[in-house]
A and B are shown apart, each in its own frame.
Chain A
Amino acid sequence: MATHTGKVILSLGRINVVGLGVKTTVSSVTYATALSTNRSARNEGRLDGQGKGPFSRKPKRLAKEPRTAEMSVEQDWTAVYPSAKPFRPNAVPLPVRMGYPVKRGVPPEKKGNLELIKIPNFLHLTPAAIKKHCQALKPFCTEWPSALDNDDKCDEHFPIKVTSTDYVSAGPSVRNPSARIVHLKVKLSSLNLDDHARKKIVKLVGERYCKRTDMLTITTNSCPLRKQNYDYAMYLLTVLYHESWKIEAWEAEKTVADMEEYSWEDSPSQKNIIDLLLRLKVAEGGEVEEEQELLKSGEVQEYKDSVTRLKNEAASESSTLQYKEAVKKVFNL
């Protein structure tokens, strides 16, 4: 027997350690006799195939019927799997098979199947369990205000949108440094700005303003905490707003090159056309008209609109056609 030989070796080992300066012959004889008496005593008392020696196993219990045999169809499954637990073949009454089949075979059964234990299971999240959990969670939830059912109303009452991200993952650390980033979005039309303030704030923020959607986006990530970044973003918005209402002395030196939009008044185009019309009148020999009257005439107004449109918007076919029509009308072609 393996255990017997193990015992013998152990005893010999003991002899080697203990009897360093002592004669070994006497001690070995005593150990051997002790072993033989132990063996005979053990054999008498035990049933079927027990291990010999003092380190034998306890009596083996007979395997019972699996728990699935006693499960009824109407049982409460949430009591069997109340929380996330690995797959237990004797607790799940389903004839599941998983694994790669051998040649001309089927996937292995669930009993002793490691593949079923390895994968994450959702046995604790059956629809019945979810309903139970949600019933318990219901008291902690509040209702959305019924007056804010569409996005327009939300934008009207709550124009500022703050966006931030949370990250959940498994790893050495729970923290994620990207979680501190805060984006603040607001439409400039919802702020109380006059013409000058609006132009100034657009100049101040530069890249952060999208003209197409009229959205100002402030992204803050310089502070280590999300709350700090949020406070900083609100501070920036406040400062921008109040600064844009200020009128500094040097703003009076704004030149035509600084203008955001093209304005026709006092532009070379106006001067040119007035000059041209006056010279035409003189050449035809008609009466000298006032500049103001020329300006008010319909053709000049149309010309003004077409030129403004060409300059402000991207050149398109319709705007060039409009310019052509206006010019033709001015010259009465």
Chain B
Amino acid sequence: MAAPIALRRELFSLSRILTGISHLGPKPCLSHTKYNVTRCHLPLKASTSYFHTATVFKSTPSLITVTEEPDTLFQKVSILVKCHDRAVLDSYELFATMAANELGITISKVYEPPKAIDRLTLLKSIHIFKKHRVQYEMRTHYRCIELSHLTGCTAQAYLEYVQRNLPEGVAMEVTKTAMEKCPDHILEPMWKDHPIDNKPSQ
């Protein structure tokens, strides 16, 4: 059973490309178990270069390293952004959707969950005057962008880009990552070769 292995690209100092600041170091990669992919054809990217980046400023192609690790596959990536300001979320949604379209990521849907308002009522005065109160509220607006069919490298690049450009403080992001995998040691029960003949359980 030949298993074509997808080559994975590691991300080296993405920030340098964006802002031109100092080298951050290689990103840690998640460990993945190898799976046997028999029928689907995963495209094999040609290995570009294996330069070890010693100096600070180098051109883009030398930063890409291709490893033999199989790429993870994400069936759905859901990004939920929270903010106190709806206008900021509108702009951010525009940015995120444009970035996804540029990178060729399929956006399954973009929607706005209803806002949540936390209200609290406090006494207006420090002493007595119980009938006079003041009310405060905190409004949290949401925006959900659901992407589908992403590879691990694409997801990593896109998410890092989008997270580095989160506006200050007020917008929060919750990313749900649903992964697909194939079982390998669950294909055959191990008792088939050694049948258990009615032993009492211990």
Contacts and interface: CB of A to CB of B under 8 A. Distances in A.
Interface stretch (B95-103, B124-132, B137-145): B95-103
Interface string B178-202: 1111110111111110001011110
Interface stretch (A64-72, A88-96, A120-128, A283-291): A120-128
Contacts of A158: 35, 73, 75, 180-182
A306 B21 CA distance: 75
A131 B102 contact: yes
B46 to A, nearest CB: 12
Contacts of A120: 88, 167-168, 170-171
A197 B191 CA distance: 12
Nearest to B38: A157
Nearest to A190: B183
Given A165-B177, A245-B189, A249-B199, A141 B39 contact: no
A83 B192 CA distance: 62
A261 B180 CA distance: 32
Interface stretch (A22-30, A39-47, A143-151, A311-319): A143-151
A140 B155 CA distance: 10
Nearest to A244: B189
B182 A161 contact: no
B6 A137 contact: no
Contacts of B102: 130-131, 134-135
B176 A165 contact: yes
B153 interface: yes
A176 to B, nearest CB: 9
A82 B19 contact: yes
A168 B180 contact: no
Interface in A137-172: 137-149, 151, 153-154, 157-170
B91 interface: yes
B71 A133 contact: no
Interface in A95-127: 119-120, 122, 124-125, 127
B116 interface: no
Interface in B83-133: 85, 88, 91-92, 95, 98-99, 102-104
Given A142-B151, A249-B199, A161 B188 contact: no
Given A125-B165, A164-B177, A148 B149 contact: yes
Nearest to A192: B187
Nearest to A194: B189
Nearest to A227: B31
Contacts of A140: 9, 11, 14, 64, 153-154, 156-157
B98 A143 contact: no
Contacts of A130: 95, 98-99, 102
B157 A122 contact: no
Contacts of A250: 200-201
Contact of B185 (A137, A143, A238, A252): A238
A141 B104 contact: yes
B182 to A, nearest CB: 5
Given A134-B99, A165-B175, A238-B185, A83 B41 contact: no
Contact of A161 (B11, B173, B180, B190): B180
B191 A144 contact: no
B76 to A, nearest CB: 9
B60 to A, nearest CB: 6
A133 B161 contact: yes
Contacts of A202: none
Contacts of A139: 9, 48, 60-61, 64
A249 B171 CA distance: 59
A237 interface: yes
A169 B188 CA distance: 44
Contacts of A166: 159, 174-175, 177
Given A82-B19, A160-B181, A141 B103 contact: yes
Interface of A: 82-84, 119-120, 122, 124-125, 127, 130-131, 133-149, 151, 153-154, 157-170, 186, 191-192, 197, 227, 237-238, 241-242, 245-250, 252
Given A143-B43, A157-B39, 8 more contacts: A83-B19, A125-B165, A130-B102, A145-B40, A145-B73, A165-B175, A242-B189, A245-B189
20 contacts: A122-B92, A125-B91, A134-B99, A136-B60, A142-B9, A144-B149, A144-B151, A145-B40, A145-B41, A145-B43, A160-B183, A161-B180, A163-B177, A166-B174, A197-B189, A238-B186, A241-B189, A248-B200, A249-B199, A249-B200
Among all A-B residue pairs, the 10 with the closest Cβ atoms: A158-B180, A134-B102, A245-B189, A120-B167, A147-B40, A141-B154, A162-B179, A168-B173, A169-B172, A140-B157
